Amino acid sequence: MLSNGLYPETQPWRIHAMEAPHGHVLHVEESGDPTGICAVVLHGGPGSGGSPLLRRFFDPARYRVISIDQRGAGRSRPRGATAHNRTEDLLEDLRLVRERLEVPRWLVVGGSWGATLALAHAAFEPQAIAALLLRAVFLPNAEYIEDFFQDTAGRAPAEWARFASAVPANQRHDMLGYLAQGLQEPAADGDKDLPRRLALAWWQWERTLAGGEPVSTTDVQPGRETLEALVDRYRVQSHYLLHRCWLGAPPLLDRLDTLPKVPTLLLHSRDDRICRPEGAQAVHERIAHSQLRWVHGAGHDPSHPAMASAMVTALDSYAQHGHFGDGRGP
């Protein structure tokens, strides 16, 4: 039975600590029906790690859900590691997981950065793709990345000023570069609290944009353990963004001509202030067979009732009909 528009939370029936090259160990979970439609879930960030929420879009009686914490993220080890951690490594990891779990083709479901990685995966291994469901796709171009760190669109000036105050005034022309450096392990004689201060400022700014409401300094702050996890998360994320996720040459949009002609649905909110709606429109225009559905009022929040409903509806349709429907109803 659905609760709040989502399927009940389920526990994984198998957990893998899957060894990958260069000392990385991937945390991989399988849940749902072992004989069901195989779907892989790609989390955002980069560096955010998986969440039980992402499994709740799937009917556990009809799907076999494979959740992967990407290199350096979540419960994969070493957490926060940036060595041997590029998009090309993640693509090889997806092939590794798929082959070890003996999955010839799978439905790929990704949100935000996870949707970007899904597109790169489909271009890299088109034969492995049964369908694509992409929520809030992110285009890693210089303009969009600068917009997030400099608030060039003026979405929340007061909150951006607070975010920027964590960075010395003479470094604010290159916020991302300073953050990437500051989130590394400090030197023995360095400011040991700097990574935590930067991670907290980034987290507050991201929360403001994701939910559409300013996050005040009086809001509940993350505990010490959570804050350490945020440092690792943003270390990985800044590492990727600093290099445009290694998808700049050729640009991701120019790689989409090789995508397989399989059911492809993009879900995006016009008021998403983290991943710009223009990105979803651009991807849709480059994939002739794709569908783009605008989800009203969801921002960048995957748990927003409108987005959760759109995800569940699309996945239910795919389970029943082998496609994502026409968007006019369940």
The catalytic residue among 59, 89, 93, 272 is: 272
Pairing of strands 63-69, 25-32: antiparallel
| Nearest alpha carbon to residue 94 among 126, 60, 139 | 126
Task: Determine the Cα–Cα distance for residues 308 and 316; give it in Å rounded to an integer.
Answer: 12
Task: Determine the Cα–Cα distance for residues 304 and 19; give it in Å rounded to an integer.
Answer: 35
* CA trace torsion 97, 102, 105, 107 (10° rounding): -60
Tokens of 217: 């300094």
* Burial (CB count within 10 angstroms: exposed 0-12, middle 13-18, buried 19+), residue 198: buried
The catalytic residue among 300, 304, 309, 316 is: 300
* Burial (CB count within 10 angstroms: exposed 0-12, middle 13-18, buried 19+), residue 12: middle
269 given a catalytic annotation: no
Task: Determine the Cα–Cα distance for residues 326 and 317; give it in Å rounded to an integer.
Answer: 10
Residue with tokens 């470094």, as numbered in its chain: 171
The answer to whether 69 and 76 are in contact (CB under 8 A) is yes
289 given a catalytic annotation: no
173 given a catalytic annotation: no
The answer to whether 49 and 77 are in contact (CB under 8 A) is no
The catalytic residue among 31, 112, 269, 290 is: 112
Residue-level length of the chain: 330
Tokens of 262: 């399989």
Active site residues: 112, 272, 300
